[in-house]
Chain A
Amino acid sequence: MTGGLPGPDPGARPHPDGRRNSQGARIDPAVEAEPEAQRAVLSATVKHEPGVLAAVSGLFSRRQFNIESLTVGPTEEENRARITLVIEEPEPGIEQAKKQLEKLIPVVSVTELETDATQRELALIKVSGEKPDQVQSVAEMYGGEAVDVSQETVTVEITGSRQKIEAAVDTFHRFEILEVVRTGTAALERGAEETR
C-alpha cells in the first residue's frame, strides 16, 4: 500500500470524552442509558386505495419496527380507512415510526393513542366439542359465546382487551384448543377526543 498524508498520528490527537448512545443522544459517559421498549398504539387514517396496506407493512418491516398487531378497515368517511398498529419500541423508535408513517403520501394522519384509549380485540377459539356446556359457561365468564357447534368442535367468540383475550385463550387450553384466530387490536380515543 502506498499513499498517505502528513499529520500527527491518531494516537497523538486529543479526543473529547463525550459519548452518544445508540439513538445518537449525548449521554453521561458514566451511565449506560439505553431507552427501554414500550408498547404504543398508533392509529393512521389513510386513503382507501390499493397498495396502502402493503406500503405500511413494508415500511415497518424494512425499518425494523417491531409490530405486535396491525388491523385495517373502512371508517365513517368514504375513501378513508383506518389502520391500527400496536408496536413495541423504545421512545425514539415510536417517534420515528410515527414520522415515517406520516411521510407515506397516502397516509392522511397519524396519532399515538393515549394509554387509556378503548382497545379491543376479537378472538375465535375452536376447542374440542367433548364438553360443550362447560365450554359455553367459560365463554360466558369472558363475556363471550359459542358461535359454532359441531359434533367434534365448539367455536367461541371473545372480545376484549388483549390481556383478557390472552387470559381466555389460557383458560380454554383445558378443553384442547384446536385453532385460534385473533384480529389484533382496534382502538379509539375515549370520550369526545377524536382519533385523528
Chain B
Amino acid sequence: MTEQVPPTTQTKAEAQASDAEDAEAAAKQAVSTGAGSVVATLESAGVEHLFGVQGGAIMPVYDALYYSDLNHVTMAHEQGAAHAADAFGIVSGDPGVCLATSGPGATNLVTGIADASMDSDPLIALTGQVPTDFVGNDAFQETDTTGVTDPITKTNYFADDAETIGDVVGEAFAVADEGRQGPTLVDLPKNITQEETETNSGETTTPDTYNPPEEADEDIVEAATDALAAAEKPVILAGGGVIKGEATDELRAFAREYEIPVITTMPGIGAFPEDEELSLEVAGMHGTGYANMAVTHCDVLLGVGTRFDDRLTGGVDSFAPEAEVIHVDIDPAEISKNINADYPLIGDAGRVMDQLDDELDNRPDPADRYAEWREQVGTWKEEYPMDYATPDDEPLKPQFVVEVLDEATEDDTVVTTGVGQHQMWAFQFWTYTEPRTWVSSHGLGTMGYGLPAAIGARLAADDDQSVVCFEGDGSFLMTVQELSVAVRENLDITVAVLNNEYVGMVRQWQDGFFEGRRMASEYSWCPDFAKLAEAFGARGFTVADYDGVEDAVEAAVEYDGPAVIDFHIDPEENVFPMVPSGGKNGKFALQTDHLDQL
C-alpha cells in the first residue's frame, strides 16, 4: 500500500515517480490538451477537492489530474459524488465540483444535480462525452447529457472547442457561484479533452448578459419601510438565500435592532440563532407551533431569500392571510411566483437589508410598537412547546437521541441528514446557531443525501468542527456504499441511524391518510448497520436502551474516523407538529387525532 500523500506537497505523478524511482516520469510534463485547460481552470478558480468516478469518456480529464495538486476523492457512486460536492458547496460557500463519465456516469449525477438546483447549491458537474464525431449516433455510453440536465441546471455547456474549453469551465464555475447560486454542467467530449492545444486557464467570469441585481429600488424600499413602520405584528422569514447570500450578519442585526421575531425556512436554518428569544425556529409542514401561529397571524411578513415553497406555505389561500408581503430576493423570477409580493425588493440580501435598515432608522423606533406582538409570540411558545413525552422505558425516542448528540458536540458542528422523519427530528430537536451548519435535502427531498453530504461537508469544514450525519434506515441504505470512501479517507464523521425499521415518513402518512395500510413501508429486513459499518472498516455501535445512548455517542464522537451508531428507536413515533400538504399552517396537528379535524 502506498501512503496517503498530502496533495499540496506532491502530485500523483511525482509520488508515483519517486515510488518507482523514475525521476524521468516526474520531470515529464503532461502534454498540453483540452483536459489540461479544464484542470488549469479549476486550479486557478481555487478548487481544492473534486468528487468523482472514472470512466472511458472522462479519462483524459483524469489523466490531466494525474499531474495536478487537486485532491480527487473517488466516490463509490456518482450520485454520492454529486451530493458530496453539493454539501461541500453549502458548507464552504464555493462551488463544489463533481466528475463523471458519459452515459451512466452522467445520469447517476442527475439526482444530485437536481437536488442542488432545487436548493440553489453551488455545484459544477463535469461530464465526459463520446467524441464529437459519434455524438448523435447512439454511441456506446452516449447520453444527451446537456439535454437531460437542461431543466435542472442554471445553464449547461457542450464544450466543442479545445481552445476555449478553459473559458467555458471558468464561466460555468462563475455562473454556479454568482447571483442566485445553483448547479452548472460542462459536457466534455473525449476528442476535445484529448486534443493538443495550448493550455488555456479560463477566467471565472460570468457572461456579459448575466448581471445579478445588487440594490433594490429605493422607492419600493421606502414603501416597504412604511409598511414595517406601520406594522403591529411583523415577522421576518429568513430563507436559504440569507445564508447563500452571506447576509446573516445584516439580517441578525436588523432583527435585533427592531426586535422582530424571526422564522426560518428549512434551508434558512442557522440564519438566526435558535437559542435567542426572537427565534421562532422553522415554519411549515413540520415547523414549530409558534412559528406557524406567528406566520399565520402576522400583518407584515418580510421574506428574505425564500421561494415560498409549498412545504412552507401549506395551502396558498391560507398562508399569512392578513400580511403584506415584503419579498427580498436576488432572483426576480421568485417574486410573486408563489406568493404575491406587495413590496418586491430585487437585490442582494445583505445590501437590501442595509437599505431597509437605513430607511427604518429615519423613523421613530418601531421596536416598542411590536412589544405586544412579541408577548403574543411568547405566549404561543408556552402554549405549543416542543416537549415530547420521554418515557422511562424503551423503545428509544428519536428526539432524545438528537438532543444527546447536540449536547455532546460543539455549537459549530455540521449536521447532515437523509430524508424522512429523522430529518425532521434532526432540525426540531437540535439547536442551530450558526449558518452553514445544517446540510440537508429540502426541495428535492433526496433519500440517501446524508452520508455523501457528510463526506463533502467534512472536507469543507474546519478540522476542529465535528460532522454528524442523521440517517434513516431506508435513506442510509440508498448510499451506504460511500462509507467505504469515508473509511479510505479516514474522515471523522459520526453517523446516527435513527432506525425505526420503516420508511417512517411514509408509514406516518399511511397511518394518517391511508387508514393504516402499511404497503411496502416496513423495513425490518435492513442489515445490521453496526456490522455493516465494521465490514466497511468503520466503527459500529448498536443502541436500543436509554442507558447506552450517552456512552455510544461519546465513543463515536471521540473516535477519529467514521463511526455508525444504529439507534433502535420507537417504530411508531411520528413527527409533530404537522401541517398536512395544502393545509392551513395555523391549524397544524399536534397529535394524530388532530389530523381528522383538519
Residues of A participating in the B interface, judged by any CB pair closer than 8 Å: 1-11, 13-26, 47, 50-51, 54-55, 58-59, 62, 92, 95-96, 99-100, 102-108
Contact = CB atoms under 8 A, between A and B. Distances in A.
B597 A105 contact: no
Given A4-B591, A24-B336, 9 more contacts: A5-B590, A7-B289, A9-B597, A13-B587, A16-B322, A51-B146, A102-B333, A105-B154, A105-B209
A8 B322 contact: no
Interface in B573-592: 573-577, 584, 586-592
Nearest to A107: B209
A26 B321 contact: yes
Contacts of B478: none
Contacts of B383: 7-8
A4 B576 contact: yes
A151 to B, nearest CB: 40
A10 B597 contact: yes
A13 to B, nearest CB: 6
Contacts of A107: 209
Nearest to B421: A3
Contact of B317 (A8, A11, A20, A92): A20
Contacts of B319: 20, 24
B146 A24 contact: no
B337 A96 contact: yes
Interface string B132-168: 0000000000000011001100110010000000000
A20 B590 contact: no
A59 B147 CA distance: 12
19 contacts: A3-B574, A3-B592, A4-B576, A5-B386, A5-B590, A7-B289, A13-B293, A13-B586, A15-B318, A18-B321, A19-B317, A23-B336, A23-B340, A24-B336, A47-B209, A51-B147, A96-B337, A100-B333, A103-B331
Nearest to B209: A108
B342 to A, nearest CB: 8
- 5 closest A-B pairs by beta carbon, nearest first, are A18-B321, A25-B340, A105-B155, A24-B339, A4-B591
B79 interface: no
B388 interface: yes
A15 B570 contact: no
B375 interface: no
**What secondary structure prevails in chain B residues at the interface with A?**
loop
A10 B570 contact: no
B321 A99 contact: no
B594 interface: yes
A103 B293 CA distance: 35
A101 to B, nearest CB: 9
B138 to A, nearest CB: 18
A102 B332 CA distance: 9
Interface string B378-414: 0000011111110000000000000000000000000
Nearest to B574: A3
B445 interface: no
Nearest to B507: A1
B428 to A, nearest CB: 10
B235 to A, nearest CB: 14
Given A23-B336, A96-B337, A2 B574 contact: yes
Contacts of A10: 587-589, 594, 597-598
B332 A4 contact: no
A99 B332 contact: yes
Contacts of A105: 154-155, 175, 207, 209-210
Contacts of B339: 20, 24
A26 B572 contact: no
Given A9-B594, A105-B210, A3 B340 contact: no
Contact of B296 (A16, A24, A95, A106): A16
Contact of A96 (B209, B333, B385, B388): B333
Contacts of A51: 146-147, 150, 158
Given A54-B150, A96-B337, A102-B332, A15 B384 contact: no
B436 interface: no
Given A4-B591, A6-B387, A62-B151, A20 B322 contact: no
Nearest to A99: B333
Nearest to A4: B591
B131 interface: no
A95 B297 CA distance: 29
B403 to A, nearest CB: 15
Given A1-B574, A20-B317, A106 B155 contact: yes
A18 to B, nearest CB: 3
Nearest to B598: A10
A14 B379 CA distance: 14
A194 to B, nearest CB: 17
A8 B290 CA distance: 12
**Residue from A4, A58, A96, A107 having most chain B Cβ neighbours under 10 A:** A4
B515 to A, nearest CB: 12
B10 interface: no
B524 interface: no
B62 interface: no
Contact of A7 (B335, B575, B590): B590
Contacts of A9: 590, 594, 597
Contacts of B567: none
B597 A92 contact: no
B511 A3 contact: no
Contacts of A5: 289, 384-388, 576-577, 590-591
B570 A95 contact: no
B338 interface: yes
B147 A54 contact: yes
B15 to A, nearest CB: 40
A188 B380 CA distance: 58
Contacts of A20: 316-319, 321, 339-340
